[in-house]
Amino acid sequence: MNRRTLLTRIGAVTAGVAIAGCLDDSAADAPGSDGEDDDTDNEDGDATENENSEDDGDGENDTDAEYDEGEEDVQSIADHRIETIGTASESDGETLTVVSEATVSFLEDTVEIHGTLQAPTPCFDAVFADVSLEYGHLSVIVELEEDEEADACVQVISEIEYEATISFELGVPESATVIHLDEQGEGTAAEATA
């Protein structure tokens, strides 16, 4: 073998080895060539999808369900009424001291209130200004309303006596406050607990 033939064969072998190396590198760089990256991505995607799609099967939020159940048992006022049952006034030579006060009684399904207010004349009635129930506490405001049917009223310190009854659904409240609005101003006439 002469020198020229030997060099030609060595060059051919070297070129073949170089091409084979390039092909290996290209295959290694191709996406998903080792099969592991694709599997990992799919597993992560499935896990995220499963977490996002979790449901209890009834299509309702648990918090909303609890709120709805609680709403069924809300205590409420069924009825309320008030009546003036008596009046008293100062007479000649006698002084009347009026105490604006009330007492509260808790019964099975009702709350009864008995109270007195001070008026400038005996021609007034006791009426509700507000009756409200919130978080188991009853608030009652009683004020004076002039009796328009009265013929003539003498300007004299008078006591207006009243009785009020408030009935409830689902039992009576735990506590109550009665406020009077009369000639003595605004003040708390009673605070009571069941």
The side-by-side arrangement of strands in the sheet containing 175-182 is: 124-134, 137-146, 175-182, 185-193
pLDDT at 36: 52
pLDDT at 7: 45
As a whole number of angstroms, the longest Cα–Cα distance in the chain is 158
Q: 114 in helix, strand or coil?
A: strand
pLDDT at 174: 96
Q: 93 in helix, strand or coil?
A: coil
Q: Where are the domains of the chain?
A: 3-54, 76-193
pLDDT at 92: 62
pLDDT at 154: 86
- Residue 167 to residue 175: CA distance in whole angstroms: 14
Whole-model pTM: value is 0.62
For every one of its 194 residues, what pLDDT tens digit does the chain have, with 9 covering 90 and above?
A: 544 444 445 454 444 444 445 445 544 454 554 545 555 455 554 544 555 544 554 544 444 444 344 445 588 999 999 999 999 998 766 888 999 999 999 999 999 999 999 999 999 999 999 999 999 999 999 999 998 887 788 889 999 999 999 999 999 999 999 999 999 999 999 999 99
